[in-house]
Amino acid sequence: MLKTQVESPDARPRAKRSYAPRVFLAVVLLGLAPLGYEAGLIVVSNWQAMNGMYSPPRTPFLAAIADWSRTAGTEFRFQTDRLVGGGHLDPAWAVPIGVGWAALTAYLFLRKVH
């Protein structure tokens, strides 16, 4: 009579888990901690203003992000104006561009990937 062994899930040795997800989470949390602190300063400042004692919060990271956003927006407008020749887009092109964009998007999302 031939006997077979049945492996249960508990019989297999456990694989060593990687520390990469924990390290990644720690790095992300440490990177976002200053922004969370400054957001807390803004909330506390608003609460103090409701009690009649306003003090403007100092938020260097959020100020730097706002400055970068303003600069990036200005640069984006400059590049797009240069791309279209500084003129206005002819409204007659709106429908053909929309149909082309929809066709391209449909092709990219509905294609079969092997």
- Tell me the per-residue pLDDT of 3-56, one tens digit each, with 9 for 90 and over: 666 556 666 667 788 899 999 999 999 999 999 999 999 999 999 999 888 888
pLDDT (0 to 100) of residue 8:
60
Number of domains within the chain: 1
**Model-wide pTM > 0.85:** no
Do the beta carbons of residue 61 and residue 36 sit within 8 Å? no
Measured CA angle at 61 (ends 56, 62), to 5 deg: 60
With respect to residue 72, please indicate whether it lies within any of the assigned structural domains: yes
Tokens found for residue 75? 């640069």
What residue has token string 């449909």?
Answer: 106
Tokens found for residue 45? 């400042």
What residue has token string 């909330």?
Answer: 43
Integer angstrom CA distances of residue 98 from 82, 92, 105 = 22, 11, 10
With respect to residue 109, please indicate whether it lies within any of the assigned structural domains: no
Residue 68: which domain range? 21-88
With respect to residue 37, please indicate whether it lies within any of the assigned structural domains: yes
End-to-end Cα distance, the chain:
46
Q: How confident is the model at residue 112 (pLDDT cuts 50, 70, 90)?
A: confident
Torsion-angle region of 24 (φ positive above 0: left; ψ -120 to 50: alpha; else: beta) = alpha
